[in-house]
Structure 1
Amino acid sequence: MRLTKISLIAVSYLFLYGCSTSQQSTLPQPDTDVKEVWETKMGTGSNDELLQQRSTLRRELSPALLAERQADYTRNSYREIFNQFPRLPNPDVVFYVYPHRNGSMPVPGYSTVFPLYERVHYATPSDAKARMPVGER
């Protein structure tokens, strides 16, 4: 019983001793801020150099270039009239049924039409654009 009390006191003393350290000794706070760390790691010491590099990367977009880039994403009368996802061609297969008898009744010969594909398939916008004549693209 006495041994358990001593061990319990020793463990609690060690626990409290571990919490008694100061924050500065455990996690020292550097005298630098985030901007200084960024500049030392990236190798840029001045903002002028960084601004110069950014300005060389930036390009002005003219309204014509911007309109050309957005042409595939905007709605216009051409896209409203003609479907953006046109149907792919589904050729018809024509069958001729010869004259025959159905029981005792004669059936004359006739033609019937079946689509080649069971389902209707649609073109993606890139497929449809590739099929368009050059002047309409």
Structure 2
Amino acid sequence: MRIPHARTASISGLAVAAAIATTMALSGCATSQEEMLPTNGTTMAGIWQSTTTGRGTTNTADDIEGDHTTNLEHARSALRRPIAPANLTVERSAYTRTAANEIHSQFSRLPNPDLTLYIFPHLSGGSSEQVPIPGYTTVFPLYDRPHYGQPGERTTYQPVADNGGAAR
């Protein structure tokens, strides 16, 4: 009869261990979102404006002189290269990737030289009434359609550097 008693003891021990494990697992999830991620009352729009334009709320640790300037403005003043806010968009557009920039930088048009042809003065081809036609110049492209280079292909002429005329 001792065998059933040992079974009940081990079953009750397992039940206690399961209860403790469940309690510990649930208490680990009891931390509130405010404790883990404090917001300090700042909205997403305020954070965005303070980092991009300097018009939003600023962090007192970053605001050294108390003049509500952004890190970009601090960097510009340290480099002594002031820039007007209107010129910021012009500066950003110089390195911003666009579809047109990607196409032109990867697949640039190969040169299609224009051929200039001079037509001498002549008479029109009819045998009954030949009319004099003055000389004129016309321009047309060498190729019928534009050709595009492969990515990385050199599209401009670059002469080979001369080694001072040394023979090989």
**Superposition TM-score, scaled by structure 2 size:** 0.29
Q: RCO greater where, 1 or 2, for CA within 8 Å and sep 6 or more?
A: 1
The structure with the greater share of residues assigned to helix is 1
**Superposition TM-score, scaled by structure 1 size:** 0.34
